[in-house]
Structure 1
């Protein structure tokens, strides 16, 4: 079984003016990416946000969907939220994965541009399915991950292209496409 983790990075990221900021947690990102992550058997879906108010918001949602009422009202949501966790920074995520697996995860980020260490979907899919390493996929919020973070990863996944020139997917749409390409059924064979 593939050993893949997912992390939605809220800090440090850029805003539209190229300033480093912390973005806020959105309800849709939590729910939709957790559901996609659970569907594709991701080990854990991490939210990275150092703001205490944002951490409390995530924990409040986790508690609600894990409670008796939330679980009874929507058991599928409870199951999706069971793999969600929040950490203050990426180093905490990496440490937890290393403690759990005994290996430092291979870091893979996403971007709408190509870089020297860009990797294609088929090549990454093969690595995830055939190697014994844990992989951590980093998804950026706002206007993307900082240059420093992009330089610190092992691979940058090739962009998702549609047939037109417009290329600005929501992070939750991109997450679902990426997970399907890396872990989904091999319908093309």
Structure 2
């Protein structure tokens, strides 16, 4: 198997956009934590960061995680516990980068967006970045609400082109976008 860069994922709740284009901090959802943790574990992601500076939102995420890591949920469902073991709650993307432990120039930080961004990176090119790594690891940023704020996009080494289906409808849940993205770049192709 071809060597690939280590992959980390950040689900960003701040800074993101609301429907009017204002910078906001969005709410954490139980489903996002569950489904994205399980998807990350399935596709061999090294770490999953939930990014929010909101103490209230962190407390919510910690309560959910405690149930699956040390509570009845983890005892009842060890597979779910395993998925939750790689989840870390952080204040910012900068804190996630610090916890990854590589110098910033060895971390390729790439955003995803449902909006078409000029000079976005094609899926074919991104796969080459992952499998012919110029970076030790890749940090994939997924925005919540109406997507990542410009200040987040400007910090990235690139933005991956949107996921399109055969129609003009382009409103995937972030959970679906994560699963499709990880399958495209790490999934085993079976014939």
Q: TM-score, normalised by structure 1?
A: 0.92
Unaligned stretches of 5+ residues in structure 1: none
Q: Aligned-pair distance for 1:159?
A: 0.6
On the 8 A contact 1:117/1:154 being kept in 2, the answer is no
Q: How many residues align?
A: 186
Partner of 1:163: 166
Match for residue 55 of structure 1 among 39, 46, 58: 58
Query: Using the alignment, how far apart are the partners of 1:88 and 1:154 within structure 2?
Result: 21
Q: Which residue of 2 aligns with 1:85?
A: 88
Deviates further, 172-181 or 58-67? 58-67
List alignment gaps of at least 5 residues for structure 2: none
Q: Deviations over 1:54-103 (max 9, x none)?
A: 11111122211112522221111101101100000111011111x2x345
Could you list the structure 1 runs, at least 4 aligned residues long, displaced by more than 3 angstroms after superposition.
Answer: 101-104
1:20-72 deviation digits (Å, cap 9, x = unpaired): 11001001100000000000010000000001111111112221111252222
> Distance in 1 between the 2:177 and 2:71 partners?
32
Aligned to 1:113: 115
In structure 1, how many angstroms separate the alpha carbons of the residues matched to 2:58 and 2:39?
A: 21
The yes-or-no answer on 1:184 pairing with 2:187 is yes
Which residue pairs with 2:152 in the alignment?
149
With the length of structure 2 as denominator, give the TM-score of the two structures: 0.91
Deviates more, 1:107-116 or 1:20-29: 107-116
- Please give the alpha-carbon distance, in whole angstroms, between the structure 2 residues aligned to 1:95 and 1:120: 28
Contact kept? 1:103, 1:134, Cα under 8 Å: no
Cα-Cα RMSD? 1.5
Checking the alignment, whether the CA contact within 8 Å between 2:97 and 2:104 is kept in structure 1 is no
**Take 2:119 and 2:152, find their aligned partners in 1: how far apart are those partners?**
13
Q: Distance in 1 between matches of 2:67 and 2:86?
A: 15
1:129-180 Cα shifts (integer Å, max 9, x gaps): 2215210000000101111221221111111001011101000000000000
